[in-house]
Amino acid sequence: MAIDGHPVTVLGGGVGGLASALALARRGARVTVLEQAPAIAEVGAGLQISPNGAVVLQALGLGAGLERSAIRARDVELREHRRGRRVLRFDLDRRRRPAGHYLMHRADLIALLETGARAAGVEIRTGVQALRARPGPTGVRLDLADGTRHTAPLLIGADGVRSVLRPALNAAEAPFFTRQVAWRAVIPEAGRPAATTQVFMAPGRHLVTYPLRGGTRRNIAAFEERPEWAEEGWQQRGDPDAFRRAFAGIGGPVPGWLAQVEEVHLWGLFRHVVAPRWHADRCALLGDSAHPTLPFMGQGANMALEDAWVLAAKLAECPTPQAGLAAYAAARAPRCARIVATADGNAKLYHLAGPVRPFVHQVMAVGGALLPGFAPSRFDWLHGLDVTGGGGDGGRG
C-alpha distances out from residue 171 to 133, 277, 285, Å: 14, 9, 14
- Residues with a catalytic annotation lie at 210
Residue pair 211/253 in contact by the 8 Å Cβ criterion: no
Residue pair 278/284 in contact by the 8 Å Cβ criterion: yes
**SS3 sequence, the chain?**
CCCCCCEEEEECCCHHHHHHHHHHHCCCCEEEEEECCCCCCCCCCEEEECHHHHHHHHHCCCHHHHHHHCEECCEEEEEECCCCCEEEEEECHHHCCCCCCEEEEHHHHHHHHHHHHHHCCCEEEECCCEEEEEEECCEEEEEECCCCEEEECCEEECCCCCCCCHHHHCCCCCCEEEEEEEEEEEEECCCCCCCEEEEEEECCEEEEEEEEHHHCEEEEEEEEECCCCCCCCCCCEECHHHHHHHCCCCCCCHHHHHHCCCCEEEEEEEECCCCCCCEECCEEECHHHCCCCCCCCCCHHHHHHHHHHHHHHHHHHCCCHHHHHHHHHHHHHHHHHHHHHHHHHHHHHHCCCCCHHHHHHHHHHHHHHHCCCHHHHCCHHHHCCCCCCCCCCCCCC
Q: Which amino acid is at 360?
A: V
| Measured distance CA(289)–CA(24) in Å, rounded | 19
C-alpha distances out from residue 23 to 57, 141, 290, 311, 324, Å: 10, 23, 18, 8, 14
